[in-house]
Amino acid sequence: MAILLSLLAIVFLLVLQRVCQSRQLTPPPLRLPLIAAVAIPILTWVLASIEPRDLGWLTQSVRTSITLLWVYGGIRVISWVVMLLPSELGIWKPIPKILRDLLSLAIATAITLVVIHRDFQVNLVGLAATSAVITAVIGLAAQETLKNLFAGISLQVDSPFEEGDWVDLGFTRGIATSLRLMSTRIRTIEGYLTVIPNSRIAVEGLRRVKAAEPVSQSFEIGLDYSLPPRQAIELLTRTVTNNKKVLKAPTPKVWLSNFGDSAIIYRVLTWQASAKEQSQLRSDLMEQIWYALQRIDQSIPFPIRDVRTEPSPAKLPSRTFSDDSLQRLLAQTELFSHFTSDQLLQLARQACCHSYGLGETVVLQGEHGTSLYIVVSGSLDVVRRTSQEGLVHISTLKHSDVFGEMGLCTGEPRSANVICNEECVLLEIQRMHLIPLMEESPQILETMGTLMAQRRQRLHATNQERAETRRQALISRMQRLFIRSGET
């Protein structure tokens, strides 16, 4: 009878396994049930052989073994049927593996204690509880085991990660392949299977990325001080966004991190679809950045120190404009269009060409200035702060536009803020640059005053009589200001 039941159990389990494989379900546990199905007939035969010899203790041991084998094999199959199969069929949510194992272990332990107590009249629970020495020895011996056990339960209840997630524990990182009763197994990017005690994970913490979530990484790179920061950021951003492995959303970012001993340090933040290729993507980006730098005659600076009597000049855009190009720019502006070629060349040589970065404020509302600016390249916003409306956008300045002339010619406070929209090059003309020209040709002052008055008239739409009065007042004020500045 036992042999027939065992054969039926084996055939049933094998057929059930084929059905589950065809439907892509987790197959039933076979190892322990098959061992039980094979061992039970053998033990039954042994029992039949030794019964006539009247060896009571041996007979009872074999019977107990047969009972426990049926129990253990049945628990594994029932656990699969009740707790695992319904979740795969969508009946209810999946039960964590560690909880399934704990429940199966608790049931198996309870039945084992009952069976041993029934067959041998031995109370293992009472024996362990009444013996302080045994309890202390078991507690000390199982200290690390219990720590890992309770840490595993905590990880399953809190669910900081699941199988298939990418985890970074600080000392190792990879894909979590399984979370077991005592340990967690992680497949690293090098291909190793790392077994980590659960207690260590619970103490040290981790970083987790879901399998379907984008993952970010950031790294630093140092570029030479001769490369302007705005150009460096644009180069790095262009190189990063052109890489096909870098996601367009979230948008990659590049920013200046700090000024190092021998390089300006930039931090690059990118996003990719999978955490598996983080190291490869970082390597690809650094290689592409190297080639991009070589194409503009730049390189990664060596970490060296040298002693210089003066700093090496930065390769700013403002230093690429010649006096002739600045002279032509001055001739295009309405304010200086009446100057002769020699006067324009003299002014171009004396004026200062400056570079400004994104977001810099060139002119601050309310401050007093002694210079005007001409836009050589880039664009700027003119913004005025009012008590009623706050910041109000007035206009946008582009190539050859002039601003700040009233502060230079009359000493009036700046009437608005001027802020760079991008990297800009501005030609700054100070009051002292115009004084020699006005001493040589006094009519320049009156002509400039007339042009400035006309600009104000167009801006404020004043009548002719009032405009003439303001023109005369403006010229008189300019005469007093420039004569006083020339004398000093």
Domain map of the chain by residue range?
2-141, 156-209, 215-295, 322-487
- What CATH class does 215-295 carry? alpha beta
Between strands 193-197 and 207-209, the pairing is unpaired
How deeply is 278 buried, as exposed, middle or buried, from its count of CB atoms within 10 A (0-12, 13-18, 19+)? buried
The overall average pLDDT reported for the chain is 79
* Whole-number Å distance between alpha carbons of 163 and 185: 9
Does the structure show a pLDDT above 70 at 320? yes
pLDDT band at residue 480 under the 50/70/90 scheme: low
The pLDDT, as a whole number, for residue 472 is 59
Q: What is the CA radius of gyration of the chain?
A: 42
- What CATH class does 322-487 carry? mainly beta
Q: Contact 343/441 with Cβ under 8 angstroms?
A: yes
Tens of pLDDT, residue by residue over 162-217, are 777 878 887 788 888 877 767 888 888 777 888 888 888 777 777 777 777 788 88
The pLDDT, as a whole number, for residue 470 is 55
The pLDDT, as a whole number, for residue 397 is 93
- What CATH class does 156-209 carry? mainly beta
For residue 178, report the phi and psi dihedrals to the nearest 5 degrees. -165, 145
Tell me which of 75 and 323 has the higher pLDDT. Answer: 323
Between strands 390-397 and 371-377, the pairing is unpaired
Say whether 389 sits in a helix, a strand or coil. coil
For residue 96, report the phi and psi dihedrals to the nearest 5 degrees. -55, 145
Q: What's the predicted TM-score (pTM) here?
A: 0.54
Does the structure show a pLDDT above 90 at 28? no
User: For a pLDDT cut of 70, what percent of the chain falls above it?
Assistant: 77
Beta bridge partners, 250, equal none
Angle at 388 between CA 385 and CA 390, to 5 degrees: 35
Does the structure show a pLDDT above 90 at 421? yes
The pLDDT, as a whole number, for residue 329 is 92
Does the structure show a pLDDT above 70 at 56? no
**Which of 37-51, 382-396, 464-478 is most confident?**
382-396
The pLDDT, as a whole number, for residue 143 is 65
**Which of 108-112, 271-275, 380-384 is most confident?**
380-384
pLDDT band at residue 425 under the 50/70/90 scheme: very high
pLDDT band at residue 306 under the 50/70/90 scheme: low
pLDDT band at residue 21 under the 50/70/90 scheme: confident
Does the structure show a pLDDT above 80 at 487? no
DSSP 96-152: PHHHHHHHHHHHHHHHHHHHHHHHH---HHHHHHH-HHHHHHHHHHTHHHHHHHHHH
Does the structure show a pLDDT above 70 at 430? yes
Does the structure show a pLDDT above 50 at 462? no
Q: Contact 393/382 with Cβ under 8 angstroms?
A: yes
Residues in the chain: 488
